[in-house]
Amino acid sequence: MKNDALQVYIHIPFCRRKCAYCAFYSEPAATPEAVRLYLDKLERDLDAADIHTPVESVYFGGGTPSLLTEADLERLFDLIARRLPLMPDAEISLEANPETLTREKIRLIAAHVTRISLGIQSFDRELRSRLGRDCSDRAIAAALEWIGDAGFPHWNCDFIYAIPSQTRAQWEKELRWAADCGADHLSLYALTPEEGTRLAADPALQIDDDLAADLWKTAGERLAERGIFRYEVSNYARPGGECRHNQRVWQGGRLAGFGPAAASYDGECRFQEPASLSRWLVGEPPTVDRLPPERRRREILVMNLRTVAGWQRENYLALPGATPAEWEQILTAARHLEARLPGLLENDANHLRLTPRGLSFWDEVAMEWL
């Protein structure tokens, strides 16, 4: 883990229409004036941050970053190039939705971005409809073609599973198409009715947890047969296609967040920008989450246990304040936890990880640990 490098997250809070499952902060139907004000404030914040630490990754999330016009994207990329000391091999990721893309916009993005993440959610039109996902088959096919032609070094597709009435046969078909679409990374999320979403407000919504567990297991098996391997509970990649930004954040790397609702982590405290464009524009300060350092390290420990690799002793000891004695305490706690919940953990003097079965019970392990 590179403790001397910084990860940067930039939240772009604009989208065409709020999807029924989405709990991320966004502003539907943004006006050109709102985008201009956003970029003006982002520029001021980047100037004020005066970052000199080498930046290993930049992640443009949202919202829908690809909703911006080509001119606005040009300005955004220029801000980053001029104000961030990017490492020569920096990973630069941008989230996109198919219906917001054109061939020309893809070419522009490819000139500045090393990794694009496409929000498909499902190739099945009916399943997308149940998710409130407003995107046509034609838009998806075109976006896949343009991204393939643009030659991105890496690219991801997002999918959702355990959608009401979805069958295992439908999911296996989805997985075959996903494996063949050309992406070297797939993010697969079980449908979860997050508080404040339209789905959560639907009293008729029923989530089948047993089906979700079965589809999760099926994904790992089928994708591995196609050379795409699970490396985190919800993320799969061909070798070398893993998202470096997420890996560093999971391991407690320093993070600088910009934009409304963006989070930062300086190694000790977590900062959260206001989840409101209007409040962010007027300079409302972020909330500060201060926890005892040991508690913060336990949070980081549990978060990175979502990965297949888990922890190596040297990586844990690279966390601020971590000591060999604390690592030994963690291993002791792991042995006690394994005695109560057998088959979920693997550990020796230098490694701690969840078993494949343990990954499917990560929530339970996290609750036990914290």
Nearest Cα neighbor of 164 from 24, 20, 357, 363 is: 20
267: region left, alpha or beta (phi > 0 left; psi from -120 to 50 alpha) = left
Nearest Cα neighbor of 353 from 324, 331, 320 is: 331
Q: Match domain 292-370 to its CATH number in 1.10.10.920, 3.40.50.920, 1.25.40.420, 3.30.413.10.
A: 1.10.10.920
Beta strands in 148-217 (DSSP E): 154-161, 185-190
- pLDDT value of residue 207: 82
- pTM higher than 0.85 for the full model? yes
Query: Which residue ranges does the chain devote to CATH 3.20.20.70?
Result: 6-248
- pLDDT value of residue 205: 78
Query: Which residue ranges does the chain devote to CATH 1.10.10.920?
Result: 292-370
Spelled out in words, what is the top-level CATH class assigned to the domain 6-248?
alpha beta
- pLDDT value of residue 309: 97
Would you write out the chain's pLDDT as a tens digit for each of its 370 residues? 445 799 999 999 999 988 888 889 999 988 999 999 999 999 999 999 999 999 999 999 999 999 999 999 999 999 999 999 999 999 999 999 999 999 999 999 999 999 999 999 999 999 999 898 989 999 999 999 999 999 999 999 999 999 988 999 999 999 999 999 999 999 999 998 887 888 877 877 788 899 999 999 999 999 999 999 999 999 999 999 999 999 999 999 999 999 999 999 998 899 999 999 999 999 999 999 998 999 999 999 999 999 999 999 999 999 999 999 999 999 999 999 999 889 999 999 999 999 999 999 998 888 888 6
Q: Per-residue DSSP letters for 22-33?
A: --S--EES--HH
Nearest Cα neighbor of 222 from 255, 174, 263, 185 is: 174
Angle, CA 118 vertex, CA 117 and CA 120 arms, to 5° = 145
- pLDDT value of residue 3: 54
